[in-house]
Structure 1
Amino acid sequence: MSQPLLEIEDLRKVYTSHKGLLGQNKVEVTAVDGIRLELKAGETLGIVGESGCGKSTLGRLIARLTEPSGGKVTFDGKALFQLNQNEMKSVRRDMQMVFQDPYASLNPRQRVQSILEEPLLVHGMGSKSERKERVAEVMKVAGFDPDLGKRYPHQFSGGQRQRIGIARALMTNPKLIIADEPVSALDVSIQAQILNLLKELQSKFSLTYLFISHDLGVVRHISDRVAVMYLGRLAELSDCESLYKDPLHPYTEALLSSVPVAEPAGRKEPIVIKGDMPNPADPPKGCAFHTRCPKVMSMCKEVRPELYPVKDGRFAACHLYA
């Protein structure tokens, strides 16, 4: 077995704030709570869950855009949290991000050709002519005429701007791309184009993706494996086909039952998750999902489940499989 490209061990992030007139009341919110994952070179791991479950924070922690409260992330054999600023800069050449809002992530004062050239300047890659050639090459790969590089971001549509964001991520020939909700702000027809582009680029450049989304349909289209998050922890980890065919965790089962289908005739009645996600500043004792779970047992209210191996390399954090 080859070494995984990315290894995450017991990763945690706790945000602290103070309330009260004088700020005397300390409040801690655990956004990411003990995540363990591996990502092999060339595969796509989908991270899915409701808003506020910690999936975007997880992506930012891996890229060290946010500093962790604990745990370890190893990328391409390097322990990221032990690197200094200069060492981390060199690692970021191999690890790029595509952000959710394609307009907010692009500098409105720069022309597209300058936006794409900037990563090469930051990392000291190539001469002026080589950088110009690389910009033209990547623009063609992303589906643009290189002459359009003279335009500003506001002169493009939302889907085109996201293609520019993807092109920027490709400039340094990265090994890993962390895509944080890259299609959630786009129309459905444009979403399909962007997803197909990502799959095409992965095949062409042997890319590895960590794909973050709340849309189970989108995740199914692009992922090899799927990790389901709930309140900062993993609820289920499975290969994509098995998860959609036979979900293990009650939370995953409820999420899948709510996905619209083209032919609803004969479909089982959707599972309704009652109530809202618990307050992350005051999570329930035991399993975090027990307050909304249709299969809750007395044990669930007292003991927090670990991520148990169930079958065929699949895992579920549920006492049903203890």
Structure 2
Amino acid sequence: MNPLLEVKGLKKYYPIQSVGIGKLKSFVKAVDDVSFEVQEGETFGIVGESGCGKSTTGKSILRLTEPSDGEVIFQGQNLIKLKSSELRKMRHYMQFVFQDPYASLNPRMTIGATLEEPLKIHGLVKGREIRRKVKEMLEIVGLTEHHYHRYPHEFSGGQRQRIGIARALITNPKLIIADEPVSALDVSIQSQILNLMKDLQDQFKLTYIFISHDLSVVRHISDRIGVMYLGRMIEMAPKNSLFENPAHPYTQALLGAVPQTNNRIARERIVLTGDVPSPANPPSGCTFHTRCPSCMDICKTDKPEFKQTADQHWVACHLFS
């Protein structure tokens, strides 16, 4: 079965300075050669610590941030090579839910006008059907038509995120990329939003890319998970395989840092030393070798290949070469 989305060798470099006249610039390698596939109807989670490039990856896929290189194949078309007019026609199939719902909403527009806008831009619904469609969508995400004429500042954080989800859903997309959609919410509200997203996925046959730094949240909602470190994908596996048998030392350290309530399944905690290297000057070879407790000489010089070690389990580590 062909995947809904294929990401191949995706890169996003930000130039920061020139070394000298006629010489190459220095770059921040925010996303450095990331590849993965997403099957229709699944939720692919991306995790990693702050600054690892997971949000930039999500925005680069939809060209909200223009990637430096790579391919993004969606429904058989390479989004990177599409002209602006061609990409615009594809937009309503691919939507984004932002981390900060208040910052992503226009404070001068009512919620009704905010939800009407994508329908008008893409010409999906016309006339009186626009208002009917908006009211229907408000009810689907747990709001009512009484919220139609209200402004963003009149809502709570959880309600604003429901509006953000409604705006993404109203164009009837096939793929939604959610960038830390619950990280700014209280724990009780987080569970409501996550359950809403799962219900909507079943109802509308949605495919998600769910970006988060919270491992428990990602485990709850994802089918497969990719772990990023310093702009690269270092491990990818079905969620049960990843949590029960993490292969990469960095993934093991991440999972070991999660508080355990059941002593019978407590993990050995791996304490990483040193700071995360700068993406403007990443280490040679494996970028994790400066903090890795299992570092070998080859890790300092050679970049590990992304290899399959088990069924659907991939890892970039010389321990599995």
Compute the TM-score of the two structures, normalised by the length of structure 1. Answer: 0.96
- Structure 2 match to 1:37: 36
Stretches of structure 2 lacking an aligned partner (at least 5 in a row) = none
Cα distance in structure 1, aligned partners of 2:88 and 2:289: 42
Asked if the contact 2:248/2:317 (under 8 Å) is kept, the reply is yes
Question: What amino acid maps onto 2:133 in structure 1?
Answer: R
Alignment root-mean-square deviation, CA:
1.7
Question: What amino acid maps onto 1:258 in structure 2?
Answer: A
- Structure 2 match to 1:178: 177
Cα distance in structure 1, aligned partners of 2:172 and 2:295: 47
Cα distance in structure 2, aligned partners of 1:269 and 1:10: 34
CA apart distance, 1:266: 6.9
2:193 is paired with a residue whose SS is: helix
- Structure 2 match to 1:69: 68
1:150 is paired with a residue whose SS is: coil
CA apart distance, 1:26: 3.3
Q: How many residues align?
A: 321
Cα distance in structure 1, aligned partners of 2:317 and 2:19: 37
Question: What amino acid maps onto 2:182 in structure 1?
Answer: V
Residues 166-205 of structure 1 mapped to structure 2, 5 A cutoff: 166-205=165-204
Stretches of structure 1 lacking an aligned partner (at least 5 in a row) = none
State yes or no: 1:99 paired with 2:98: yes
Cα distance in structure 2, aligned partners of 1:50 and 1:66: 20
Cα distance in structure 1, aligned partners of 2:149 and 2:127: 16
Asked if the contact 2:92/2:173 (under 8 Å) is kept, the reply is yes
Cα distance in structure 2, aligned partners of 1:158 and 1:223: 23
CA apart distance, 1:128: 2.2
Asked if the contact 2:12/2:68 (under 8 Å) is kept, the reply is yes
Cα distance in structure 2, aligned partners of 1:265 and 1:277: 32
CA deviation digits over 1:13-39, x for unaligned, max 9? 1110227999x9932111111111111
Cα distance in structure 2, aligned partners of 1:261 and 1:149: 44
Cα distance in structure 1, aligned partners of 2:238 and 2:265: 26
- Structure 2 match to 1:146: 145
Cα distance in structure 2, aligned partners of 1:33 and 1:280: 10
2:259 is paired with a residue whose SS is: coil
Question: What amino acid maps onto 1:230 in structure 2?
Answer: Y
Distance 1:268 1:73, change over 3 A: closer
State yes or no: 1:224 paired with 2:223: yes
Question: What amino acid maps onto 1:310 in structure 2?
Answer: T
CA apart distance, 1:138: 0.6
Greater displacement, 26-35 / 208-217:
26-35
Cα distance in structure 2, aligned partners of 1:266 and 1:59: 33
CA deviation digits over 1:246-296, x for unaligned, max 9? 101000000001112333577244211111111111111110000001111
Question: What amino acid maps onto 2:203 in structure 1?
Answer: K
Distance 1:286 1:119, change over 3 A: same
Question: What amino acid maps onto 2:282 in structure 1?
Answer: P
Question: What amino acid maps onto 1:72 in structure 2?
Answer: E
Question: What amino acid maps onto 1:201 in structure 2?
Answer: L
Cα distance in structure 2, aligned partners of 1:257 and 1:157: 34
Cα distance in structure 2, aligned partners of 1:307 and 1:147: 52
Cα distance in structure 2, aligned partners of 1:149 and 1:56: 31
1:283 is paired with a residue whose SS is: coil
Matched residues, percent identical? Answer: 57
CA deviation digits over 1:178-199, x for unaligned, max 9? 0011011111111111100000
Residues 140-289 of structure 1 mapped to structure 2, 5 A cutoff: 140-264=139-263, 267-289=266-288
Cα distance in structure 2, aligned partners of 1:85 and 1:208: 24
Cα distance in structure 2, aligned partners of 1:266 and 1:136: 47
- Structure 2 match to 1:28: 27
State yes or no: 1:47 paired with 2:51: no
Compute the TM-score of the two structures, normalised by the length of structure 2. Answer: 0.96
